Structure formats: structure tokens, C-alpha cells
Structure 1
Amino acid sequence: MEREVVQIFRKRSIHQAKLNVPTLVAVAAIAILTTRGLDLLMLLNLLGVRGMIDFVHRSVQTWALTLIFLGSLVMLCVEVRCAFVILKGRTWGRWVYLGTQVIAVSYLWASSLGWGYPELFSIPGESKREILRSLITQKLPDLLVLFLLFVPSRSRLFFKLQ
């Protein structure tokens, strides 16, 4: 009986050893989940229930706005999925997250310069430099997450070994 219990614990420790997530990777994944959750809570607090209903109503006025709105919701879901996949050590999760950030920054930059639907997603500013500074400030947490996923050697090694 004791031998079987010892073997069970040995098997568990072997499986757990494969799932030792480096602290920086865990912090990055938790940061993705936290920032997205807080973004939603802050938006709900800012707009209120009525404001959220109005926002959704304005977002579905035309097909183009509806596609942009649905695309943003899909990107939110993809980012949350990436956080869980990153914890499992799948390297594609960090690359997909990087892709979502490139898409988000590109669209925010373009819409802020008037090449999209600025009434939905745009950053206010008088000049391109001011808009870029605001955009970088707004995306700083995501840049830090990308740094934690790609730069430290422990993070790169973790994804390489999985």
C-alpha cells in the first residue's frame, strides 16, 4: 500500500515538473487577464449600463462598424485564450498575442489619424506626435507583457522546451 502511494506521488511530481511555469511568464499571463478584465470593468463603470447599451447600439449602425466591433470582441477573446495557452507553454500563444497587439496598435494609429472610424476607436490629440505618445502610454502594459514573454532567457527557454 505504501509503495503505491509513493509511486503516485512520484508520478505527480514528474508531471508537475513539466508544468513549472517561470515566474515572469506567469506574471505576463496574469497581467493579460487582469488588464483585460480591468479594462472591461472600468469601461462599464465609466459608461454605466445605459452607456454600454448606447455604445453597442452605435457600434452596429453600419456593417463596417459592426465588423469592427465584433472584431474587437474576437480580439479580446483571443487575448484571453492566449493568456491560458501561454501558461501551458505553447509558443504560438505568445506569437498570437504579439499579432493582436500589432493589429490593435495599427488600427488605433490609423483611426486616430482619420483613416477609419474615429468615433469608435481613436486617440485624441492635436498632432501625430501627441497621438503617438498617448498610444504608447496606453499600450505600455502590453509592451511590458511582450517584454516578459520574449526577452528574458528563462521565458524563451520555457517556450523552447515545451
Structure 2
Amino acid sequence: MISWSESIDIDRPVEEVYNAVLDQQVLMKWSAWPAATGYSCGVDGDGTTLGSSIVFTSPTGEEMGRQTIVDVTDTTVSNRLRNRGPGGRVIEPEIDFRVERLGLRRSRVLLDFRVVPPVPAPLRPVARLFLNLRIRPLHRADLKNLRSMLETRAS
């Protein structure tokens, strides 16, 4: 398993930050993924309840993957993805967004990522390198975009 956590502090109340990681319509406003992949994204479901999915579609209209809400608590939104990775292999990462209160108007978001690469064990170091070079920077960009959107909207 390959895993990491990234975090960012945001000058907004915890409830507002939590709603921005829960609501998939809002999530697509700050996500770095559409621009990085060239995919368009739409929401299947209401965007906030279990089973709602962000659907990633290629420029030719082919569905390339889904990010589905699989669990919601007072502090955490758990998502599971099912996407086509390099070479057309199906990859099923797990991403949890945890939101912590740091003060009345300050919050921390933690993005926890986990995946078992769909490659033989001898190729896992290459997969780890690829994920760290390509995917982890997008997670960092996601969090920066989230902070920018929320703090800009507030001013």
C-alpha cells in the first residue's frame, strides 16, 4: 500500500470548510484535477450523500473514472475512486478529507491518500515514484486551491 497525508490551514470556520470538501459541486470548483487531466467532471447524485459520485469524462465523452462518497462523519468525508490509470489498468485509491477546528474562524484540512497499485510487487517502487511525482503534487494543489477559494470568497 502507498499512502500519505497532506494538510493545510484555512482562515475559515470549520463548518464552511467541511461543506466545501463534502459537497462535490463545490469540490469541483477548487479541484486541480480537471485542468491537469483535461477531463470534464459532473456529479451523479445530489453531491453530498453516500453514493454520490464525481464522474470524470474524457474529451471524447468516455467515462474515465468516478470519485464516490462512501462514508461521512462529523469531521471526515471518505471517497473511493475507480479510475483508469496508466496502461488502462483500473486503480482504486481512497481519499479522506478530515477537517479539524483550530479556532473560531480557523480550520485544518487533512487529505489522507491510500492505494494499492495494480501492478506486480516488483513494479511497486516505480508506481510509488510515479504517484509521488504526479499525484501528490495535485493533492497539494487541491488543498491550496481550496484555501484560496474559501479565503477569497470571505474577503
Regarding TM over 0.5, the answer is: no
Structure label with greater radius of gyration: 1
Scaled by the length of structure 1, the TM-score of the pair is 0.31
